[in-house]
Amino acid sequence: MKYGYARVSSQDQNLARQLQRLKEVGMDRIYEEKISGAINERPELMKVLKRLKPGDELYVIEMERLGRNNEYLTHIFMEVYLKGAKLVILDLPTFDDIDDANMRNFLRNIFIETKKFQAESERKRIRIRQRQGIELAKKGL
């Protein structure tokens, strides 16, 4: 089975861009939700992770849709792997053109670790900007 997962952080945001991309790839089922990626217990994500079986594929358009916490992203990756399923992140290179499987996995892992770091760093920057905005609003600026 090919499952898609689409997430935005708030109710007023739109999932259309993600849903369109996942449909283009040909999903059997798409799970979608509007909830912050800072929250680890997301009902639809939990449902799709629970459903995964060996040989299944879970697609997201970008890693940040799964979350922005490095440790939790690692947990998701391991859960998918231990179920014998495959996680496909559409905005990441596959390195499929590299014949050596060890090199392919090495490059993929380096790239994923870098993206996990970027996702968490962006979340921290978002929180800093939010705090700055709140402080300015309190001062009437």
Catalytic positions are: 9
Tokens of 80: 């998918």
Instruction: Calculate helix-pair angle for 43-51, 70-82, nearest 10 degrees.
Output: 30
C-alpha to C-alpha distance for 108 and 96, rounded to whole angstroms: 10
- Residues 6 and 61: beta-carbon distance below 8 Å: yes
- Residues 90 and 61: beta-carbon distance below 8 Å: yes
